[in-house]
Amino acid sequence: MDNRDIAKEVYDLAKSSSSIAPRVKEALRVIEETLDAYGEDRVSISFNGGKDCTVLLHLYIGVLARRSSSRPKNIHSVYIPLPLPFSALETFIADTARAYSLDLYHCEPPDEQPVESVPKSAVNTPAMESVPKQKGGEGMRRALEQYKVKFPNVEAILVGTRKGDPHGATLQFRNTCDPGWPQFERIHPIINWSYSDVWVFLRTLDVPYCALYDEGYTSIGSTYNTFPNPALKIQPSCATLPNGSTTPFPNGTGVSTRRSLPEHAALVTLSSDPATTCFPDNGELITVSVDPSATCFDDSCSGCGDGPVVNGNAVLGDGSASTETQVRYRPAYELVDGSLERAGRGPAMP
């Protein structure tokens, strides 16, 4: 990864006609002013592998590269893990630290002080038996105290918080820590960015990001309270081709002719072959025709998975039945409504 190329890309984007150009220019200015005030040795960046931190890190590297004649190395950075992190996220963090030459300090909070809130329902699950029933935040304070002892010269920390994040609505570009916390100034260069802005930036500049976002996750926390966003779930439909093979048609894609179910139909039969029957969740019965042009697709047939359902079981490629169906999700950047960003976050589910 060439940092000089990163610098050129981010500054060119700030001067472009892109919809996010004003946001990029604003963030670069905040980072530059922070470095002017403190100097590189007294500034650190918080990096936890999330999409927002990834945007901020790319911008920060661009600013550092533009200000220096040599490649920035051993960049001050801190990672405060959440309880039970995703292995894919941990791998991405390690890969990114190497790619960007980060001096990434893993600031582990005490076991008895979680970083984020732990709902009682989550603690009652086997995976969370070792996590105490305490409210989050204290672990963050203790972790930052460790970091201050380890790096007493660091006075400002760049943070990838946005207005739409929890506790982000009242934050400004620069905020000092609350009384009783280690004395850092928190810098929020992308505080005014939207969910859409983040993805436009990452995809415009082809910035590597955690693979979980391609699997339907839109906000990543601990494994016990983070799930694929239900707003991105693909609702499959089923069909049987003339040769007898099966194929899914998510949202009707992949077929030129589409016919809808009659309203309030209790039974729709388009074929005399009962072996090609698909059972939707709503209890209606659909028999798929051997003629694709006469096939009736029902998007409510969420049990169909990768093929039709026969007697309640998904049919596999070899004709055998499976009691499990594959649930698929669109990537995070396809979420249109940014207000649903955290729809996949919540207490542990059964």
Q: Are residue 216 and residue 84 in the same domain, yes or no?
A: no
pLDDT digits (tens, 9 = 90+) for 34-61: 999 999 999 999 999 999 999 999 999 9
Range of the domain at 69: 3-113+138-208
Q: Domain count of the chain? A: 2
CATH code: domain of residue 62: 3.40.50.620
Predicted pLDDT of residue 168:
77
What pLDDT score was predicted for residue 122? 40
Is the domain of 189 the same as that of 200? Answer: yes
Same domain, 179 and 228: no
pLDDT for residue 220 = 95
pLDDT per residue as tens digits for the range 250-308: 444 433 233 343 444 333 333 444 444 444 444 443 444 444 444 444 444 444 433 33
Mean pLDDT of the chain: 74
Is 62 part of any domain?
yes
Both 92 and 143 in one domain: the answer is yes
Q: Find the helix packing angle between 51-67 and 3-14, rounded to 10°.
A: 100
Question: Which amino acid appears at position 307 of this protein?
Answer: G
Place of tokens 């990537």: 331
User: What is the share, in percent, of the chain residues with pLDDT greater than 90?
Assistant: 48
Q: Are residues 41 and 100 in the same domain?
A: yes
Q: What is the pLDDT of residue 83?
A: 84
Is 268 part of a structural domain of the chain? no
Q: What are the tens digits of pLDDT across the range 63-112?
A: 999 998 666 778 999 999 888 899 999 999 999 999 999 999 998 765 55
Output the pLDDT for position 194: 96
- Flag whether 288 is in a domain: no
Domain shared by 229 and 151, yes or no: no
Whether residues 227 and 95 share a domain: the answer is: no
Assess if residue 36 is contained within a domain: yes
What pLDDT is stored for residue 307 in this prediction?
39
pTM value? Answer: 0.71
Place of tokens 């076991």: 111
147 and 231 assigned to the same domain: no
pLDDT band at 318 (very low <50, low <70, confident <90, very high): very low
Is the same domain home to 73 and 179? yes
Are both 70 and 179 inside the same structural domain? yes
pLDDT at 327: 84
Can you read off the two tokens belonging to residue 295? Answer: 């096939």
- Same domain for 230 and 199, yes or no, is no
pLDDT for 340 beyond 60: yes
pLDDT tens digits along 169-201: 877 888 777 777 788 899 999 999 999 999 999
| 15 found inside a domain | yes
